[in-house]
Amino acid sequence: MKVHYKQDTLEIWGYYPEGYENIPTPNMSISEKVWQEAVKTQATHINLETKELYKKEVEATLEEMKEEPPSIGEIMITLEYEFKTTVQNILDTKAKERGYDNIVSAVSYAGYENPFRAQAEAYGKWRANVWSWGYALLGKIQSGEIDITTLSMDEVLKDMPKLELSDE
């Protein structure tokens, strides 16, 4: 198993099975046990020295930050964390509705012949579309194109790409 992470923040961006073609870099090999624990604990970051995958906690929620005027940088850090956590929970919940442990488990059946392949590929395409949409949205917020102070998370998420599964 390999974990792909963002070089400057050490944020985990994805997990890939050994032998998977085109694994993005940077990435690091991890054991199945480490991967299972990371998924279980919803690890968000990697420590390159210890090779530990861990969940980075945010000190305050966006609601708490409204009490004191935060900087735009502080707002963006908190917003990005809340957004990513919310989206990841939506992805995992949708996968669980069909009996998978999470979205990673669902997409792990893609790429080779098996009874779940079509469904796994649909989950994989959906996950890619969601994160592509999400990072574009965060970019629009950071550039000021979208004023997040006037929107709730529900309003932001209403345009998230939908999962399209056939009834196979």
Q: What are phi and psi of 135, to 5 degrees?
A: -70, -35
Are residues 26 and 74 located together in one domain of the fold?
A: no
Are residues 46 and 83 located together in one domain of the fold?
A: no
Angle of helix 72-96 relative to helix 117-143, nearest 10 degrees, comes to 170
Amino acid residing at 143: S
Q: What is the mean pLDDT of the chain?
A: 85
- 144-161: pLDDT as tens digits: 888 877 777 788 889 999
Do 55 and 42 form a contact (C-beta atoms < 8 A)?
A: yes
Are residues 31 and 78 located together in one domain of the fold?
A: no
Range of the domain at 84: 62-157
- 61-117: pLDDT as tens digits: 666 655 666 666 777 787 888 888 889 999 999 999 999 999 999 999 998 999 999
Report the pLDDT value the prediction gives residue 139, as an integer from 0 to 100: 87
Domain termination site, one of 54, 81, 97: 54
Report the pLDDT value the prediction gives residue 152, as an integer from 0 to 100: 78
Please check whether residue 124 lies inside any domain of the structure. Answer: yes
Count structural domains, the chain: 2
